Each structure stands twice: as C-alpha cells, then as structure tokens.
C-alpha cells in the first residue's frame, strides 16, 4: 500500500456511516422502488473475454510458530483457511517476504511450521505467489534506484529463496512477483531496468531448475500511468515480455482499466494481487463490503483474471481490521468474519472459476471505471460459467456518508462515491436475445445481510430488470437454465 492510497482510504471515512440498509426477507425485494430518474441500463458485449481464475488472499509469516501454535490449534487454523479458500472458493495465496533480510528458515517457520500454508492449500489454494516487499537497502544507487550491477544479485536472491523453500518444505511457490508496489519503494526499478530484471530473474529461475515458476509483475499500487509505463517497457523487449507470465496491478483508489486490459495484448493473464481498505472495521460494515465488491466487479469487467484480497486471516488489530477478511483473537479463541466475507462468498458462488467474461457498459457511466475521481454508482460484471449458466454482479457504491459535491482540491471528497441512492437496473445480454424466458436466482449482501436469497427474476429476450439495487447492495444473479 502506498501513502496516496492510505490518504484516500483514511479520508474517505471522515464521516461515519450513519445509515445502513435493513435486511431483506427471503424471497422478497424491499418495498422501496427506484424512481425513473434512477434507472440504469447495463449492456453486455457479445465478444468473449478473459477467463476468471479465481479469488485469493495473503497470509503472513511474522508470528513465530512457537507463539502461533501455542495460541491457535491446527483445527482452528483449518477453520479459518476453509472459510476462505474452501467455502468461498479462493484459489491463490500470496506469501510475503523481505528479500535478503531473514534466512529462509524464518519463513519456513512462519508459513510452514505454523501449518498456515498447508491449511490454505488443503482448502483449495493452487496458485502460490511470492510477494517480495522491498529491495535490500544496500542495493540503492543513491538516487532511489537499484544499482545496475545488483540486478543479477537480486534475481538470485529471489530464485534461491524459492529453491530453498522447496527443499525445506517440499512446496513449490509456483509464481513470483518482483517487488510489491514498486512505485512506492525507497529503492525501486527505473522503467528501463524492468526488462533487465525480467530477463535476469527468468535466467536465475531456469538455472536452478525452476522453469515452472511464473513471473507476475509489476504489482503497482494502482492501475495508472506508472504501471502503464512499466508494462510498455517490458513489452518493448521481446525477451523480457516472454519472461513475463502475467501483468499485475493493485486495486485501491485506481482499479483496473481498459487501458491496462489492452496491454495484455491477448497474451497474458491480468492479476490483481492486492485490494482492501485500511483502518478499523467492525462486523456488519457494508461500506467496506461494497467497496471491495465494486472493485472486484470493475476488475472482472476490465480484463482481470486473478483477484486477491490483501489479508485472508490474521490476528485481530482494532486499528487495522479493514485489511482482513477474517480476524482471530487468541484468548479465548474466536473468529470475526467481517461483512466483506459475505460479499466474497456471494461473488465466488456467482462467478465460477473458468467463467468467461463479457465487457459491459452503462448508459449512465460508460465504462464504469473505478479510478481516480468520483466512483461509479453501479459497477457490474457479466460472464458465463463453465457449466453454461450466466452470472451477473451488481454493486451499488453509494452511501449516506458520501456526497454528490465535487472539489478536485479535496482528495477524499473527489475520490469518494456519490450520496445514497436506490437504482432500478436493467441488464441486457444480446447473446440471449432469442431466449424467450430464462430464470435467474438472485442473492443479496448488505449490512448484516449475508448472501441471502431473494425472489427469482425472469429474463425475457435477453433483458432482465432488478428493481431495487439499494445503497451498498451487492446483488448477484445466476441463471437457473443454461
């Protein structure tokens, strides 16, 4: 996370959320209806796009096994891992290290001897992603960039870590980043150095027999100009581009865009390797849930294949629980599932791994891009699951704590959502225009509304109407026919 992100996420919560939507009874929409002025139409494109590879989250190694295992039993670790990776169908895990700072045995202790990594893998994690947090300070050239002569050394540090971790645990970390949020590190790569690093890292991996390890980069803090420049620099060098297995950014204030999706050139997966909020969070906070749901739907609509929350489960921190999906307290042991958990659970059971996305647009907000400036009122994503069912996601990121006022000089105001409003959303899928009738199961999450079933709706000739998408709602539809 960079400082600009932190400023945004802190400022946006200046006014506490005063009103949250009430729970809906099963099989019924709320009595409130949207006015004609609040009607929005979402239209899916007809071309197939990327395939969704699943959700993911990080685990941390910072608590030594001697303490962790005294406080948390293997069954409790499994319960937390299963809640996320099994029950919410997460498929990837991000593993943080400080390159060169601690021996590999430190991470074997924190990830493996605690049983955390084995638990998330048993629960469904297939893609393991190494997350190097920063470059060693002694590699600084004095201007904030890595010394040219140290690029091969840094590549060797990462490759040696992966090899040694495999030797000590039997587990291959099959994907690796290069540097977390490289635009905001005390030592970083220049645009020109990125292709050099890509080639050096690929060579270092191959020399150690790690040809199966894929490189994911640049993992910029936001999807913006600095990330575009890095990807363009790598793409301009054919050998560096071959070495790159997937492009990657984070989704904080600036989530995925069509501009970055286009830079995959139809050849590379697009990973989003970190998103969350920061600061305190209490159970039932729908603003936090709608925030990540809106970014998830934005990113699926703009080419992302892999989508990862910042922290899966970690010890509770009253000052920073917003980074976590689950938090645990050790004595007595208890698990807190924050509201975003219900949102993720609902999304994971709407968009299956392997779902093929379509590109959708809004008649009111065009691309619905969650980026710098006011955030879209409605974010949407539409795709078709491997079993032939259709998936639709709608997130209403309007809230009582937001304002319609604009002031580019006020960062928090300029980058918040709009004031609370209920929308009548019409979804059009031209591919289904010849289907006279198709039923959809509808589900909803909001404050203390945890992925509940609503009344089914019927699509006719490719058009379905969701009459009441309320502030901070996540509404999903999954067809009952193929």
pLDDT reported for residue 36: 64
Total Cβ atoms within 10 A of residue 285: 22
pLDDT reported for residue 51: 97
Structure tokens at 363: 């008649």
- Is residue 71 within a helix (H) or strand (E), and if so which, with residue range? helix 65-71
Helix/strand/coil (H, E, C) string of 298-360? HHHHCCCCEEEEEEEEEECCCCCHHHEEEEEEECCEEEEECHHHHHHHHHHCCCCCCCEEECE
159, 210 Cβ separation under 8 angstroms: yes
Encode 252-284: b = buried (16+ Cβ within 10 Å), e = exposed.
bbbbbbebbbebbeeebbbbbbbbbbbbebeeb
pTM equals: 0.92
Positive/negative CA dihedral, 52, 341, 122, 132: positive
Quick one: how many helices (H) and strands (E) in the chain? 13, 23
Please state the φ and ψ torsions of residue 13, each to the nearest 5 degrees.
-105, 25
pLDDT reported for residue 272: 99
Cβ-proximal residues to 9 (8 Å cutoff; 6+ apart), any chain: 252, 253, 277, 278, 279, 322
Output DSSP code: residue 375: P
pLDDT reported for residue 26: 38
pLDDT reported for residue 15: 31
pLDDT reported for residue 232: 98
Cβ-proximal residues to 99 (8 Å cutoff; 6+ apart), any chain: 132, 133, 134, 135, 136, 154, 157, 158, 161
pLDDT reported for residue 6: 44
CATH topology of domain 54-274: TIM Barrel (3.20.20)
pLDDT reported for residue 264: 87
Output DSSP code: residue 138: G
Structure tokens at 31: 């009595």
Q: Any idea where the domains of the chain sit in the sequence?
A: 3-48+356-479, 54-274
Cβ-proximal residues to 209 (8 Å cutoff; 6+ apart), any chain: 163
Pick one of 2.30.42.10, 2.60.40.1180, 2.40.33.20, 3.30.9.10 as the CATH number of 3-48+356-479.
Answer: 2.60.40.1180
Strands 474-479, 390-396: pairing is antiparallel
Sequence-distant contacts of 149-154: CB under 8 A, at least 24 apart = 151/193, 151/196, 151/197, 151/200, 152/200, 152/204, 154/99, 154/197, 154/200
Structure tokens at 169: 């645990």
**Gyration radius of the chain over CA positions:** 22
- The vertex-221 CA angle with 225 and 64, nearest 5°, equals 160
pLDDT reported for residue 1: 55
Output DSSP code: residue 181: S
pLDDT reported for residue 153: 99
19, 400 Cβ separation under 8 angstroms: yes
**Cα–Cα distance measured from residue 285 to residue 207, given in angstroms and rounded to the nearest whole number:** 49
Encode 98-119: b = buried (16+ Cβ within 10 Å), e = exposed.
ebbeeebeebbbbbbbbbbbbb
Strand ranges (E), 192-233: 214-220
**Cα–Cα distance measured from residue 204 to residue 156, given in angstroms and rounded to the nearest whole number:** 6
Reading the chain (482 residues) residue by residue, the pLDDT tens digits are: 544 344 434 443 333 333 333 333 333 444 344 556 799 999 999 999 999 999 999 999 999 999 999 999 999 999 999 999 999 999 999 999 999 999 999 999 999 999 999 999 999 999 999 999 999 999 999 999 999 999 999 999 999 999 999 999 999 999 999 999 999 999 999 999 999 999 999 999 999 999 999 999 999 999 999 999 999 999 999 999 999 999 999 999 999 999 999 998 778 999 999 999 999 999 999 999 999 999 999 999 999 999 999 999 999 999 999 999 999 999 999 999 999 999 999 999 999 999 999 999 999 999 999 999 999 999 999 999 999 999 999 999 999 999 999 999 999 999 999 999 999 999 999 999 999 999 999 999 999 999 999 999 999 999 999 999 999 999 999 999 99
């Amino acid at each position: 996370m960079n400082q600009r992100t932190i400023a945004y996420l802190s400022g946006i919560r200046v006014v506490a959320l005063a009103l949250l939507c009430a729970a809906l009874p099963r099989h019924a929409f709320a009595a409130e209806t949207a006015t004609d002025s609040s009607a929005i139409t979402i239209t899916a494109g007809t071309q197939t796009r990327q395939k969704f590879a699943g959700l993911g989250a990080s685990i941390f190694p910072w608590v030594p096994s001697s303490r962790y295992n005294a406080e948390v039993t293997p069954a409790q670790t499994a319960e937390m891992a299963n809640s996320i990776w099994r029950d919410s169908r997460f498929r990837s895990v991000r593993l943080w290290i400080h390159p060169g700072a601690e021996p590999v045995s430190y991470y074997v202790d924190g990830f493996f001897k605690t049983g955390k990594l084995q638990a998330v893998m048993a629960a469904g994690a297939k893609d393991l992603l190494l997350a190097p947090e920063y470059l060693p300070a002694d590699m600084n050239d004095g201007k904030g960039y890595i010394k040219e002569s140290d690029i091969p050394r840094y590549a060797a540090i990462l490759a040696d870590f992966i090899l040694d971790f495999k030797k000590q645990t039997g587990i291959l970390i099959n994907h690796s980043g290069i540097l977390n949020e490289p635009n905001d590190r005390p030592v970083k790569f220049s645009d020109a150095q990125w292709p050099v690093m890509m080639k050096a890292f690929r060579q270092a991996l191959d020399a150690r027999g790690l040809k199966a390890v894929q490189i994911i980069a640049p993992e910029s803090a936001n999807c913006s100009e600095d990330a575009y420049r890095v990807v363009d620099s790598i793409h301009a060098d054919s050998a560096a581009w071959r070495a790159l297995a997937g492009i990657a950014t984070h989704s904080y204030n600036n989530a995925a865009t069509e501009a970055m999706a286009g830079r995959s050139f139809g050849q590379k997966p697009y990973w989003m390797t970190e998103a969350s909020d920061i600061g305190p969070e209490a159970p039932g906070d729908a603003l936090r849930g709608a925030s990540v749901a809106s970014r998830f739907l934005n990113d699926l609509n703009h080419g992302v294949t892999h989508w990862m929350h910042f922290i899966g489960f970690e010890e509770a921190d009253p000052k920073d629980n917003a980074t976590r999906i689950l938090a645990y307290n050790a004595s007595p042991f208890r698990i807190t599932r924050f509201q975003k958990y219900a949102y993720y659970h609902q999304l994971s059971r709407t968009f299956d791994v392997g779902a093929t996305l379509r590109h959708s647009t809004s008649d009111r907000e065009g691309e619905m891009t969650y980026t710098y400036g006011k955030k879209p009122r409605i974010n949407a994503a539409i795709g078709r699951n491997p079993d032939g069912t259709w998936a639709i996601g709608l997130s209403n990121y309007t809230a009582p704590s937001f304002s319609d006022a604009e002031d580019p000089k006020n960062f928090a105001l300029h980058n918040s959502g709009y004031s609370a409003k209920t929308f009548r959303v019409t979804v059009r899928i031209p591919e289904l225009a010849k289907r006279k009738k198709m039923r959809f199961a509808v589900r909803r999450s909001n404050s203390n509304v945890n992925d509940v079933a609503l009344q089914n709706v019927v699509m006719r000739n490719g058009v379905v109407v969701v009459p009441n998408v309320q502030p901070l709602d996540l509404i999903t539809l999954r067809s009952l026919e193929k």
